[in-house]
Amino acid sequence: MAPLHHARSYVKTPAGILHILCILTNLGTLLACGLRWTEEGDVYIQIIFAEYAWQTFVMGCLFISFMIIMVLFMSKIANPSSMFARITNKMAIALIGFCIVIAAGVFIIELWYITSGRNSYTKMYKRIVVVMIFALILLVLLGVLGCFLALGVQSTVSPRPRTPIQSQPPQPPAYKTTNPFDEEVRSPRTD
């Protein structure tokens, strides 16, 4: 039960939320890069692009980045005795830096496709723009996540103190009262 609690506590932190956003954005970029629509309405996944050679390179880079981000996420939610937990903070920052370089490269390649002005890119223009926007979002998210790790922002939620389960109803507190009719409290009269 402890590993599950550790995973839930990491996901609740800002770094955990950013990590999940990075995973989803990278997955969205991969899907936007690989999915192709035809005029007939057919949708298929294309991994190797003959006329767009750099798109094959972009797909490979995005897949490598996705795998690195997933391994880093597994290292954060893993049990401390697992293989994934051996990734140190410096190694995680270096891997995120590598993913930032990959995302920047993808953004630059997609920007080049758009600004080169070739007519052959017009049928993939919308897809290239979507991939470029996703790559820019991924670049920003990875930068913020890297800053969180570098600055040492708390990556786990401190556990709340547990209150013991009481089997009996709580007793009212014992107050010391002074009752004038009590023998011990009453003072002797002096008339």
What local confidence, expressed as pLDDT, does residue 32 receive? 87
Whole-model pTM: value is: 0.72
How far is 66 from 28, CA to CA, in rounded Å? 10
How far is 124 from 174, CA to CA, in rounded Å? 80
What local confidence, expressed as pLDDT, does residue 11 receive? 84
Answer whether residue 138 shows pLDDT above 90: yes
Most confident segment among 13-27, 112-126, 162-176: 13-27
How far is 156 from 38, CA to CA, in rounded Å? 46
Q: What is the mean pLDDT of the chain?
A: 78
What local confidence, expressed as pLDDT, does residue 83 receive? 72
The pLDDT confidence band at residue 140, using thresholds 50, 70 and 90, is very high
What local confidence, expressed as pLDDT, does residue 3 receive? 56
Phi, psi angles (nearest 5°) of residue 81: -95, 0
CB 143 within 8 A of CB 93: no
Answer whether residue 5 shows pLDDT above 70: no
What local confidence, expressed as pLDDT, does residue 67 receive? 95
Residue range 103-136, pLDDT digits in tens: 999 999 988 888 876 655 566 778 888 889 999 9
Residue range 52-78, pLDDT digits in tens: 778 888 999 999 999 999 999 988 887
8/100: higher pLDDT: 100
